Amino acid sequence: MVQMVRFLALPLVLLGAPILAQPAADWTSAVSSPSLALARHPREARAWQSVVPPSYRRTRWIYRLEGNSSQPRIVQSGGRSYVLGTVCKPHDCYANVGAFLIALDGRRAAGGLLFNRAGRSREIYFGNPSPYERALLRSILMLGQ
């Protein structure tokens, strides 16, 4: 009986693998952008948009990731795959940069913002990032990687 269940479950596991691979490809594709990936993946969009502070929900480059962006990459944290990338305010990237960390399963997201004004920097983090996730977000904000 156990062998039969394993035999029947294997195709389901194998069929599920492309489901996770597709969001990763959408996010890291050179022809895609974070805003297009959000549009194609409503779970990830809901996860991201639910953690964006209310005061930034009308700011499209933050809330919808509609700005200049870097090539996102896939990272691991807590046994979960995330997409990590940056976006900035069009025509004002030096002064307004955001970083996003969104789980490919759409269950979690965190972000950070860096504002540079008159030689002073201000960082904001949201989505309750773990210390490791905060370090990832901070490094990508500061280094632009």
Whether residue 116 is predicted with pLDDT greater than 60 in this model: the reply is yes
Q: Structurally, how many domains does the chain consist of?
A: 1
| CA proximity to 44, closest of 121, 111, 106, 93 | 106
* Interval 48-87: pLDDT, tens: 999 999 999 999 999 999 999 988 999 998 899 999 999 9
Find the domain containing 88 and state its range.
Answer: 2-143
* Interval 3-57: pLDDT, tens: 443 444 434 333 344 444 556 777 776 456 899 989 999 999 999 999 999 999 9
H/E element, 132: helix 131-143
Q: Give the model's pLDDT for residue 95.
A: 92
What's the CATH number where 17 sits?
3.40.1420.10
Mean pLDDT of 107-113: 97
